[in-house]
Amino acid sequence: MTVPKLANAELAVMNRLWEKGIATARQLREQLYPEAARPMHGTIQRLLQRLEAKGFVERDSDRAAHLFSPRISREAYAAGRLESLADQVTGGSFVPMITHLVEERKLSDADMEHLRRLLEER
């Protein structure tokens, strides 16, 4: 699945939505920019509009304060970005990426055991 790359600010909003499940623009602003308060509200609104246009968030406008929720899961986004990275860097192969993670010990023993089980099931 091809998933567009999110800008850092968009990803910060999505991370909050993935954690909370649903939020208003005000709640997101207060969580992401607690010191800035009101001036950042327009920024959050624009980020949410961009994310909605890209198909990442859904807006429930039945209430005065619109509610936003993710339309794509964190796992689906990560999978799509990894596929894009593999296509761009290694011709679509995940082997170099996994090899690097294993050899550089970026995977815990539990992670490696999980991968081992997945491979055995296939």
Give Cα 12 to chain centroid, integer Å: 8
Domain with CATH 1.10.10.10 in the chain: 8-70
- 8-70 classified as CATH 1.10.10.10: yes
pLDDT for residue 99? 87
pLDDT for residue 98? 84
Above 70 in pLDDT, residue 1?
no
Q: For residue range 74-86, what is the model confidence (pLDDT) as tens digits?
A: 999 999 999 999 9
Rounded to two decimals, the pTM is: 0.82
pLDDT for residue 117? 94
Q: 102: which 2 tokens?
A: 């294993």
Averaged pLDDT for residues 44-65: 94
Answer for the pair 3, 76: CB distance below 8 angstroms, yes or no: yes
